[in-house]
């Protein structure tokens, strides 16, 4: 298992590719592949939260 932090868009793209390949194999929890999938998805979520934040909706907007 070769896991590194996601710092660049290229790292992000590679992590998405890896997690997609792992998802296709449907790894069982508590296996090396399942742990790899779990760590990669955590890193991807952290990268996305930092680089693609989603603001909370304006509560008044739906009323308009």
pLDDT digits (tens, 9 = 90+) for 1-39: 678 899 999 999 999 999 999 988 988 988 999 999 999
What pTM, to 2 d.p., does this model score?
Answer: 0.81
- Residue 63, in any domain of the structure: no
Integer Cα distance of 39 and 43 in angstroms = 6
Stated as kind and residue range, the H or E segment containing 12 is helix 9-25
Query: Domain of 20?
Result: 1-50
Residue 1 pLDDT: 65
Integer Cα distance of 32 and 7 in angstroms = 24
- Residue 40, in any domain of the structure: yes
Q: What total of structural domains would you count in the chain? A: 1
The number of residues making up the chain comes to: 64
């Amino acid at each position: 298992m070769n896991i590194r932090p996601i710092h660049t868009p290229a790292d992000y793209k590679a992590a998405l590719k890896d997690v997609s390949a792992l998802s296709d194999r449907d790894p069982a929890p508590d296996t090396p592949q399942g742990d790899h999938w779990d760590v990669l998805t955590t890193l991807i979520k952290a990268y996305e939260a930092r680089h693609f934040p989603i603001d909370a909706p304006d509560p008044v907007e739906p009323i308009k």
